[in-house]
Amino acid sequence: MAKRKIKLVSWNVNGLRAVMGKGFLETFKNLDADVVGIQETKLQAPQVTGDMANIEGYTSYWAHATTKKGYSGVAAFSRMPVKNAKTGMGREEYDNEGRIVELDLGDFIFFNIYFPNGQMGEDRLTYKLDFYRDFFAYADAYRKQGRSLVICGDYNTAHNEIDLKNPKANENTSGFMRIERDWLDKISADGYVDTFRHLYPDTVKYSWWTYRFKARERNVGWRIDYFFVTEDIISKGWLKDAFIDNTVYGSDHCPVGLVLEI
């Protein structure tokens, strides 16, 4: 049987309505991906209408925050057959923030996740770390069943010093605190592979820049958007490429992606 290439993309759009006015549909078409996960839609269900809901050739799946309007939210668009789709992980304290869409694509399960930001205070940092713990426990249950997993999204943590412009200045900033980075160390040790860093161990490239201080213009950024996969995807030779497309504007993040051949 001939192998097929599968292109997957993740992009934190920081407000889907805002980015719709900045050429989102054209960018989406140009990405030419089989599955696209977007984070921070900032939408409620009744606001998902028109072009954003009905992109030709794709079926869309949405998770919305029920805690407050204009907050969080993720969506996944697939032109591949989806065997099953879910939102959340069965935990109300997380699911009410609309952070997870899960698609069973047969050969693998695709997770699109907006991991919490810990910068708003100690309670949100704790929430973020608990989310890491509980989500990866949820993912491990699938792994024990022999399933291959692709887990993309905004992880809200730069893993190592190579992953942000000013590591020393940000050691005590949520997003690069040791306690957060330890979680990325842990999942890496547990057999989840950061695909971009696996293929490009020394490449300096960022996926997020603050809107302040002309940060993007000066490329003062952070790499906080990832595709992690289970180790078996590497050992089976499915991983062909990983990329960060920083030519795409419209958000404070740029798209990141993965190419598999199955």
Band (pLDDT 50/70/90 cuts) for residue 201 is very high
Residue 104 known to be catalytic: no
Over range 156-177, report the average pLDDT.
97
Residue 56 has pLDDT above 90, yes or no: yes
Helix or strand holding residue 197 (H, E)? helix 195-199
Q: Does the annotation place 12 within a ligand binding site?
A: yes
Over range 129-158, report the average pLDDT.
98
Contact 39, 10 (CB under 8 A): yes
- Rounded to an integer, what distance in angstroms lies between the CA atom of residue 73 and that of residue 197? 27
Residue 114 known to be catalytic: yes
Q: Which residues neighbour 46 within 8 Å (Cβ) at sequence distance 6 or greater?
A: none
Band (pLDDT 50/70/90 cuts) for residue 1 is confident
Per-chain mean pLDDT for the chain: 97
So what's the pLDDT on residue 2? 85
Instruction: State what percent of residues in the chain have pLDDT above 90.
Output: 98
Q: Does the annotation place 253 within a ligand binding site?
A: yes
Q: Does the annotation place 30 within a ligand binding site?
A: no
Residue 159 known to be catalytic: no
Please tell me which residue in 61, 64, 94, 114 is annotated as part of the active site: 114
Q: Does the annotation place 54 within a ligand binding site?
A: no
Q: What is the pLDDT of residues 213-226, one digit of tens each?
A: 999 999 999 999 99
Over range 227-236, report the average pLDDT.
98
The total number of structural domains in the chain stands at 1
Q: What is the pLDDT of residues 2-53, one digit of tens each?
A: 899 999 999 999 999 999 999 999 999 999 999 999 999 999 999 999 999 9
Q: Does the annotation place 95 within a ligand binding site?
A: no
Please tell me which residue in 34, 154, 163, 225 is annotated as part of the active site: 154
Q: 91 lies in which domain range?
A: 5-261
The CA angle 164-98-157, to the nearest 5 degrees, is 15
Say which CATH number the domain at 163 has.
3.60.10.10
Kindly report the number of other CB atoms within 10 A of residue 15's CB atom. Answer: 18
